[in-house]
Structure 1
Amino acid sequence: MRCGEKCFVVEMEANGKSHTKQLNARTPAEARKKIRKQTGEQTKIISVLKK
């Protein structure tokens, strides 16, 4: 874990299915960027919430 990271809960829709994933990031924008790198550019991100 890097300095200043917080836990975020990301709700997304990939391959027509809804998913929820937790990850550590410094900002909500960084959390979105990490999700898109892991799942692909076509993933629709519904919400990013701080846990």
Structure 2
Amino acid sequence: MIDFTLPEIRRLLIKLALRVVGTTDHIWSWSRFRRRRQHQARLSHYKRRGYQLA
């Protein structure tokens, strides 16, 4: 997974502080899903362009 980005941290803090939608588990699950998908997209991007992946 990729590291937390500043917008992601900001979003998590707002959601956890206000708890506008869902439970705490839902908020953290969404964050893990989002970072996992970003990682997969990054790998796919580099693979498509022929870069060597470690």
Return the TM-score normalized by structure 1.
0.31
TM-score (norm 2): 0.30
* Structure with the higher helix share, 1 or 2: 2
Pick 1 or 2: higher relative contact order, CA cutoff 8 A, min separation 6: 1
Mark the structure with the bigger radius of gyration.
2
